[in-house]
Chains A and B, each alone.
Chain A
């Protein structure tokens, strides 16, 4: 199921990751959408987190509060988007400690602290599979901004 983003999500994602990471630290956001519209992404959420040049970790209380907020508002998290300092790929840490390790959840990694082009050509996208593994996907075909 491809992700269908409302206009502006990609631009605001890059803007936040750049602003927060300051070309120095990794950063992460989550894309959310209505639970009953498959693939829809209507918003971006910035978690409370700590980070360094090659890591990030989400505040524990924030995760619980986020899941409670999702159920109250009929939304779900469809993807996590985070930066790496150099090239984009999925590390062992990325594999093991995602927000929602269940089928259909996406993980998008942006290279060079998201400081380069706002295109997704250098990005790495993976989708969580039913057997617990991550399968690489092509960002250009799986992520679309709707007009």
Chain B
């Protein structure tokens, strides 16, 4: 299954997979202040943060045979903020930061509450999306600066005659 999480269509209602992908790549400096007091409390752990390896698979050209690209370090956790029956926040983030996984899961739990969703969307998700956009633009620009244009001299159809004449 292939999802382009970076190209978010405008006006579409938020879907959970999308915000989980955004939160997984959010920097801690943006997560900590946006969650405020929720970030400080001790959640009820369903699965305390744990770090492990996940095999990343790829397909050449996006449509070729599936192959194992390599393993990445992933930290995951699942938690609940309220009583049993309230929403469960889940996070899978790359790297070893338990704090990042915890905050992403807290945000996921809060975002499942329709009452909190619009506020969090503007306070947390929008800045993170801007940050990721900027990061991508910078990487694109730095890659572009090293771009090499190759020129080849294409012979025109009439040239073969000219060469023959010269001989």
State whether these chains interact: no
